[in-house]
Chains A and B, each alone.
Chain A
């Protein structure tokens, strides 16, 4: 049962990723990315990372992509025009490098890396994934946790500075940043 679900989600992920990269309309690309995130969340759930799956949807699909769409629409972008020889040459090179990377990955996998099954039972399954993660997060990873909150503060300040423009110019309020601060912890 599991592998089937996995294959389904995986296929969805790959297809939507491809559409993100290939589609001309940036809005459509963004929406496809949302789908990709959701399929990824499904894979997380299959791997018993329930907390992460939920956070993936809430943060990535719910906040980050909203931000993306917001900016795309604010900038009032049209379809991308991808004509011209130079652009075509660059595209060709890009695909070539991608193929190269894929081949490298395949070669590595062939060598017998990453063998063995992924487990069904995760540690701390009795209390639930959230509690288990919380226990690890607030003990071993307390310091990075605090640092991350400072990071978010810095990001907030930076964004306000950058987006402000000239003094007195009405700035674009980056609202979702405040929400993210709540999800991450103290701010």
Chain B
């Protein structure tokens, strides 16, 4: 019997959702956990099988389309539920299901004391279904279904503890900010339909060079609109404000959705649409600049945060900025590479943070942590690996991916972008080391409560940490530089990245230049790490004195440049005022006025008509007589 190939991958989590809904509490905690984790692990298994099948095909044929059913057919336009597996979606589906499985297992331990255990896994599985639909879709419309679905699940999961007003607010904020981006995505999709008559990837990318003028206004606008959608989903400037607030959700949620998968949907969409972007250099510049700016800005904010999850949140925003930077300079493959490595070490960081928080009875402020290394050995070891990876220490995965992005930026002549990236790398190393030191090293600053209940996490939480640590270490080796013809990862993605008729000039660096850049990255990383160690471990007084010296600057960073306040004043408030005005004037006066006016007019009319009913019989007789005369005259004319 031939097992299905692609559609079963999103279908398994969906089946788990339905079973969860139907069977519910009868499953019990173990049953729910088995169902949820089992479905995702099974999905990973099927994904692996599909990818292996794909890898077995010759390079030119690695483009599998599986048609499920026709969704809509309107005139010349048709959109179907069909799935695409090519090297790009293969990477994504493996990352999503692989990291997703690990996080599901972790969550069974983390959420074991939560009364809404079942509801959590319901939402989590629903998210997996939506995300897998997104990455496996073969047209923009189905992708958008997944896009919206993950947005919805993000809202549900951020506001999971909905009795907390801050959580409910954060969920709302995430959804609304996402919607603004989705608006851009939709407009971009409309332009694509208008120009090419289809939303199917293959058809759009084949037609695009013929219907759009390269570098013209139409394609630039389309690309920028889709990028707006990506900024919403992947938390870039200007739509990033929801991600830090999203930390209100449970930590597994932060790990899965806001580190490894959902936020990378924007990058995936950009990589998928590289044909369109490559046709518009102006749009690519915008993408690169915004990516770089976001990377730098978020890194600076991360310096001054005290909540461990907030630091990681801003770190995510910053790293996403690197991915967009890569796309903007034309290195879409490098961006995807960083997506993969980032998924490993960021998920690990969040899960590790969750382990720390769990151990300290829900303490999240780093100022009340410290000296945890001996008490939480496994958590400590894995978090160290992750910190080294994100800081760009050689031989860890983050080093390879980040270095490639910077090298590509330099090679394509974007020296300014490269410089910003270098500074960002230094800052990244600094604040991550700061996080590590404040949490695990030095003298403990724990509250009495926390110290009393301190314990290492259960195996269900430790095992995923270990797996992710291993991946964070070895995950970069598919991207070894100095390979002739590109490294393994780039070669894997080549059929996708070099499809399309628009040829992007490939910049080659000399070996010497590449080594030099490599050295600069390493030095910068070491500077960052060293600086943080000095400031927080060796001579703790430096940090406090710096904070006092640069008090204003520190406050600016701590309050995240007051971006939220600015948005509130310039966007939210006018919007609310406009809505109020519309309600008072348009709704109450015009619309209600019209409706009531119709009634009033009818009343007026009937008021006039009813005067015919005088109640006097004589009047009626008069009308009858006149009527008779009229009829007689009419019929005898």
A contact residues vs B (CB 8 Å cutoff): 90, 93-94, 97, 100-101, 104, 108, 111
In contact, B629 and A93 (Cβ under 8 angstroms): no
In contact, A104 and B633 (Cβ under 8 angstroms): yes
Task: Return chain A residues, CB-CB under 8 Å to B636.
Answer: 108, 111
Query: How far, in angstroms, from A94 to B633 measured CA to CA in the complex?
Result: 19
Task: Mark out the residues of chain B between 609 and 634 whose CB falls within 8 Å of any chain A CB in the assembled complex.
Answer: 618, 622, 625-626, 628-629, 632-633
In contact, A101 and B633 (Cβ under 8 angstroms): no
In contact, A97 and B626 (Cβ under 8 angstroms): yes
Query: How far, in angstroms, from A104 to B628 measured CA to CA in the complex?
Result: 11
Q: Nearest B residue to A93 by beta-carbon distance?
A: B622
Query: How far, in angstroms, from A100 to B629 measured CA to CA in the complex?
Result: 8
Q: Nearest B residue to A97 by beta-carbon distance?
A: B625
Give 10 CB contacts A-B under 8 Å: A90-B618, A93-B622, A97-B625, A97-B629, A101-B625, A101-B628, A101-B629, A108-B632, A108-B636, A111-B636
Task: Return chain A residues, CB-CB under 8 Å to B628.
Answer: 101
Apart from A101-B629, A104-B632, A111-B636: 16 A-B pairs, beta carbons within 8 A: A90-B618, A93-B622, A94-B618, A94-B622, A97-B622, A97-B625, A97-B626, A97-B629, A100-B626, A100-B629, A101-B625, A101-B628, A104-B629, A104-B633, A108-B632, A108-B636
Least CB distance, A104 to chain B, in whole angstroms: 6
Least CB distance, A105 to chain B, in whole angstroms: 9
Query: How far, in angstroms, from A101 to B628 measured CA to CA in the complex?
Result: 9
Task: Return chain B residues, CB-CB under 8 Å to A104.
Answer: 629, 632-633
Task: Return chain B residues, CB-CB under 8 Å to A101.
Answer: 625, 628-629
Task: Return chain A residues, CB-CB under 8 Å to B626.
Answer: 97, 100
Closest CB pairs A-B (n = 4) = A97-B625, A104-B629, A100-B629, A101-B629
Query: How far, in angstroms, from A111 to B626 measured CA to CA in the complex?
Result: 21
Task: Return chain B residues, CB-CB under 8 Å to A100.
Answer: 626, 629
Query: How far, in angstroms, from A111 to B636 measured CA to CA in the complex?
Result: 10
Task: Return chain B residues, CB-CB under 8 Å to A111.
Answer: 636
Task: Return chain B residues, CB-CB under 8 Å to A90.
Answer: 618
Least CB distance, A87 to chain B, in whole angstroms: 10
Task: Return chain A residues, CB-CB under 8 Å to B618.
Answer: 90, 94
Query: How far, in angstroms, from A65 to B629 measured CA to CA in the complex?
Result: 30
Task: Return chain B residues, CB-CB under 8 Å to A93.
Answer: 622
Query: How far, in angstroms, from A175 to B578 measured CA to CA in the complex?
Result: 83
Query: How far, in angstroms, from A97 to B622 measured CA to CA in the complex?
Result: 8
Task: Return chain A residues, CB-CB under 8 Å to B633.
Answer: 104
Query: How far, in angstroms, from A111 to B633 measured CA to CA in the complex?
Result: 13
Least CB distance, B21 to chain A, in whole angstroms: 69
Q: Nearest A residue to B621 by beta-carbon distance?
A: A94
Q: Nearest B residue to A108 by beta-carbon distance?
A: B636
Least CB distance, B628 to chain A, in whole angstroms: 8
Query: How far, in angstroms, from A104 to B625 measured CA to CA in the complex?
Result: 12
Query: How far, in angstroms, from A108 to B635 measured CA to CA in the complex?
Result: 11
Q: Nearest A residue to B626 by beta-carbon distance?
A: A97
Query: How far, in angstroms, from A93 to B616 measured CA to CA in the complex?
Result: 14
Query: How far, in angstroms, from A144 to B632 measured CA to CA in the complex?
Result: 28
Least CB distance, A56 to chain B, in whole angstroms: 25
Least CB distance, A126 to chain B, in whole angstroms: 40
Q: Nearest B residue to A90 by beta-carbon distance?
A: B618
Q: Nearest B residue to A98 by beta-carbon distance?
A: B625
Task: Return chain A residues, CB-CB under 8 Å to B625.
Answer: 97, 101
Report B495-523 CB contacts with A as 1/0, cut-off 8 Å: 00000000000000000000000000000
Q: Nearest A residue to B618 by beta-carbon distance?
A: A90
Q: Nearest A residue to B616 by beta-carbon distance?
A: A90
Task: Return chain A residues, CB-CB under 8 Å to B632.
Answer: 104, 108
Task: Return chain A residues, CB-CB under 8 Å to B629.
Answer: 97, 100-101, 104
Query: How far, in angstroms, from A104 to B627 measured CA to CA in the complex?
Result: 13
Query: How far, in angstroms, from A100 to B622 measured CA to CA in the complex?
Result: 12
Query: How far, in angstroms, from A108 to B625 measured CA to CA in the complex?
Result: 17
Query: How far, in angstroms, from A122 to B628 measured CA to CA in the complex?
Result: 33
Least CB distance, B249 to chain A, in whole angstroms: 81
Query: How far, in angstroms, from A111 to B625 measured CA to CA in the complex?
Result: 22
Least CB distance, B246 to chain A, in whole angstroms: 82
Least CB distance, A112 to chain B, in whole angstroms: 12
Query: How far, in angstroms, from A97 to B623 measured CA to CA in the complex?
Result: 10
Query: How far, in angstroms, from A127 to B618 measured CA to CA in the complex?
Result: 47
Query: How far, in angstroms, from A108 to B631 measured CA to CA in the complex?
Result: 13
Q: Nearest A residue to B633 by beta-carbon distance?
A: A104
Least CB distance, B626 to chain A, in whole angstroms: 6
Task: Return chain B residues, CB-CB under 8 Å to A108.
Answer: 632, 636
Least CB distance, B266 to chain A, in whole angstroms: 84
Query: How far, in angstroms, from A104 to B634 measured CA to CA in the complex?
Result: 11
Q: Nearest A residue to B628 by beta-carbon distance?
A: A101
Least CB distance, A170 to chain B, in whole angstroms: 29
Query: How far, in angstroms, from A90 to B622 measured CA to CA in the complex?
Result: 9
Query: How far, in angstroms, from A108 to B633 measured CA to CA in the complex?
Result: 9
Q: Nearest B residue to A87 by beta-carbon distance?
A: B618
Least CB distance, B218 to chain A, in whole angstroms: 77
Task: Return chain A residues, CB-CB under 8 Å to B622.
Answer: 93-94, 97
Query: How far, in angstroms, from A127 to B88 measured CA to CA in the complex?
Result: 118
Task: Return chain B residues, CB-CB under 8 Å to A97.
Answer: 622, 625-626, 629
Query: How far, in angstroms, from A36 to B633 measured CA to CA in the complex?
Result: 29
Q: Nearest A residue to B636 by beta-carbon distance?
A: A108
Least CB distance, A80 to chain B, in whole angstroms: 14
Q: Nearest A residue to B625 by beta-carbon distance?
A: A97
Least CB distance, A7 to chain B, in whole angstroms: 27
Least CB distance, B27 to chain A, in whole angstroms: 76
Query: How far, in angstroms, from A47 to B48 measured CA to CA in the complex?
Result: 116
Q: Nearest A residue to B632 by beta-carbon distance?
A: A104
Least CB distance, B181 to chain A, in whole angstroms: 77
Least CB distance, B222 to chain A, in whole angstroms: 78
Least CB distance, B470 to chain A, in whole angstroms: 104
Query: How far, in angstroms, from A177 to B213 measured CA to CA in the complex?
Result: 102
Least CB distance, B374 to chain A, in whole angstroms: 107
Query: How far, in angstroms, from A94 to B619 measured CA to CA in the complex?
Result: 10
Q: Nearest B residue to A105 by beta-carbon distance?
A: B632
Least CB distance, B525 to chain A, in whole angstroms: 107
Least CB distance, A86 to chain B, in whole angstroms: 10
Query: How far, in angstroms, from A97 to B625 measured CA to CA in the complex?
Result: 7
Query: How far, in angstroms, from A121 to B633 measured CA to CA in the complex?
Result: 35
Query: How far, in angstroms, from A111 to B635 measured CA to CA in the complex?
Result: 14
Query: How far, in angstroms, from A111 to B628 measured CA to CA in the complex?
Result: 19
Least CB distance, B637 to chain A, in whole angstroms: 11
Least CB distance, A93 to chain B, in whole angstroms: 7
Query: How far, in angstroms, from A65 to B206 measured CA to CA in the complex?
Result: 103
Query: How far, in angstroms, from A56 to B626 measured CA to CA in the complex?
Result: 30
Query: How far, in angstroms, from A7 to B618 measured CA to CA in the complex?
Result: 33
Least CB distance, A150 to chain B, in whole angstroms: 28
Query: How far, in angstroms, from A101 to B630 measured CA to CA in the complex?
Result: 10
Least CB distance, B490 to chain A, in whole angstroms: 103
Least CB distance, B627 to chain A, in whole angstroms: 11
Least CB distance, B619 to chain A, in whole angstroms: 8
Least CB distance, A157 to chain B, in whole angstroms: 25
Query: How far, in angstroms, from A10 to B29 measured CA to CA in the complex?
Result: 111
Least CB distance, B618 to chain A, in whole angstroms: 6
Query: How far, in angstroms, from A104 to B637 measured CA to CA in the complex?
Result: 11
Query: How far, in angstroms, from A94 to B618 measured CA to CA in the complex?
Result: 9
